[in-house]
Amino acid sequence: MVSTGEQPLNDRERRLQARLERERRARGEAEHLLEAKSRELYEANVALAALADGLERRVAERTLELSEARRQAVEQAETDALTGIANRAAFMQRLETALSSRGGEGVAVLLIDLDDFKAVNDTLGHAAGDALLVEVTRRLVAGCRPGDLVSRLGGDEFAVLALGMGVGVAAEQIAQRLLDSVCLPVSVAGRSVPSGCSIGLATAAPGSTGATKLLGDADLALYAAKRSGRGRVRTFEATLREDLERRIAFERELRQAVLADQIQPWYQPVRRCRSGCFVGAEVLARWHHPDGTVRPPAVFLETVEGCGLLDLMMESMLRIALREAAPLAAAGTLEYLSINVSPSQFGDGWPLRRLPALLRDAGFPADALVVEITETALVQDMERARDNLSALAELGVRVAIDDFGVGFSNFSLLRQLRFHKLKLDRTLVCDIETDEHARAVAECILALAARLGIRAIAEGVESEGQARLLEAADCDSLQGYLFARPQRRLEPFFEAVTSPPEQRPGH
């Protein structure tokens, strides 16, 4: 046998070699697996990093979106939707900040309220009213200084916050500039609409931090501007607060007077020209004060209406008047009783709501009651006026147009609406002897009323000359101090009437 030089492996060596081979293969497989896992981990890290970048961008975008939404929400909460300027909440916040940071130094508030804005809404519609508010806003912003805050507090009320040294004088100048600007006519819905405002101005005292009080001072000044004739600027004075306290006390006293029936009906009779007899009477309000005086309506009527007591006062007074007049109407000596209804009462339908029950309770005939309405109450809403007049006619109540010949003097009303009586205004009557124009106008109105079958009453007759001219112009009836002053009782005027009254259907 030939020898190869290599010794055969024994079993132990073979087993060792096999184990080494297995370990080598295992290391190779492990390295391959580790390489694959490393590659997977790397790829996962790359994907995770991309995902993290995407999430970071999305979080940043969402943060910006939320920030913008929050900014818009705050802006909407502080902005008037119609005009785009600051609203009441934003104005009060800025005012409080200005007062606290300045200690009241150099802070002024201008409170601006449009005059007769309701008439624009009533006659031209709310869209026209909104257009007017937008134009007024533009003028206010243009008339203020940079840094002044213009705000719409609500409705037709605006406010300006003015800051800086010498702000009192500057605010007065701003107020006058704004007044002049706002009071120019505005083109609305193709029509030139009169525009105007009243302004109340208040300047903070040193050390003042009360935003509500400063705005209240401006409101008092605004109220004073309105009462003194509108279309003007009024600066707050301490006496205005004293006036407010007196007004509050007066309103309280008036409320008690109305509830206690201290405001009672007085009567001024109406004399028919043809018969020379008293045929009707107008109900007039008088306050029988506990101090023993009797006060005319000029003293209290505006306050009664302003504090919401007019309906209550009218109902109380009319209940007494109808009860007192019912026996005279039943006896035929009183043809009619007339009452004045304010534009606000006529507009909201007070006569239609309350007259049926009042007439029924008093036993007073509906066709012996005349409701006197001014032109102002009619022209504000012709459709509503027509409906209300028709409803009164169905009730049987008659209607007179009061104070005709002044104000609108809208002759088309006599064509479009139906009236039973027309009251010639006393301003024409008082000049009828000395003013040819007044006489011509009065004669024209009386002739027109006669052609339309409307009985005319001239009020405020105080001289024989006036009476003769009016009778010559075919005026149906006369009312005034020449014949009788108002009195508390009806009987002195009608109790002694002996000639039979004219038939009711034509009264």
Beta strands 398-404 and 421-424: pairing type?
parallel
473, 458 in Cβ contact below 8 A? Answer: no
Tokens representing 498?
Answer: 């002996």
Distance between CA atoms of 464 and 451, rounded to whole angstroms? 26
Q: Pick from 106, 180, 109, 172: which is nearest to 140 by CA?
A: 180
301, 314 in Cβ contact below 8 A? Answer: no
Dihedral (CA of 5, 9, 14, 16) sign? negative
275, 499 in Cβ contact below 8 A? Answer: yes
Length of the chain: 507
Amino acid identity of residue 126, one-letter, is H
Distance between CA atoms of 469 and 446, rounded to whole angstroms? 11
256, 476 in Cβ contact below 8 A? Answer: no
Beta-carbon contacts of 96 under 8 Å, excluding residues fewer than 6 positions away, are 209, 211
Q: Which residues are catalytic?
A: 459
Distance between CA atoms of 349 and 467, rounded to whole angstroms? 36
Q: With left for phi above 0 and alpha for psi between -120 and 50, is residue 157 left, alpha or beta?
A: beta
Strand partners for 286: 264
Q: Pick from 383, 416, 294, 285: which is nearest to 342 by CA?
A: 285
Distance between CA atoms of 357 and 360, rounded to whole angstroms? 5
227, 234 in Cβ contact below 8 A? Answer: no
Angle at 426 between CA 425 and CA 428, to 5 degrees: 75
Distance between CA atoms of 15 and 4, rounded to whole angstroms? 23
What is the DSSP-derived secondary structure letter of residue 73? H
Dihedral (CA of 303, 309, 311, 313) sign? negative
Burial class (CB in 10 A: 0-12, 13-18, 19+), 422: buried
